[in-house]
Amino acid sequence: MANHKSALKRIRSSEKKRLINRLQHKTTRNAIKKLKETSNKKEAKKMFPSVISLIDKLAKKNIIHINKAGNLKSKLSKYVGSL
């Protein structure tokens, strides 16, 4: 167990951050899954910018790596283009 007040505070704040990060990551994964399940090109093109925005936000906050974000965006744009 932590011995200092600052360490206790760090434990509390890091737990809150972890939960927020998990929520954002899961929300983005669900959006990606929903986009991949879409077979309608018009609907996919409509969803695409919002999903890309979510991925960029995760990369900006270092929840996912920048290169992973690039790979995801590339694969999604390829998928939407192939519909």
37-55, pLDDT tens digit by residue?
Answer: 998 999 999 999 999 999 9
Instruction: Say if 12 falls within a structural domain.
Output: no
Rounded Cα distance between 14 and 73, Å, is 29
For residue 48, being part of any structural domain is answered with yes
Task: Work out how many domains the chain is built from and give that number.
Answer: 1
- Listed as ranges, residues in the chain with pLDDT below 70 are none
Structural tokens at position 13: 């704040």
CA distance 40 to 46: 10
Buried-exposed string 36-58: b where 16+ CB fall within 10 A, e elsewhere: eebeeeeebeebbeebbebbeeb
The predicted pLDDT at position 83 comes to 87
Quick check: is 25 in a domain? no
Whether 7 is covered by a domain: the verdict is no
Tell which residue, 36, 34, 29, 33, has the closest CA to residue 79: 36
Q: Which domain holds residue 63?
A: 41-83
Inside any domain, residue 60: yes
The model carries a pTM of 0.84
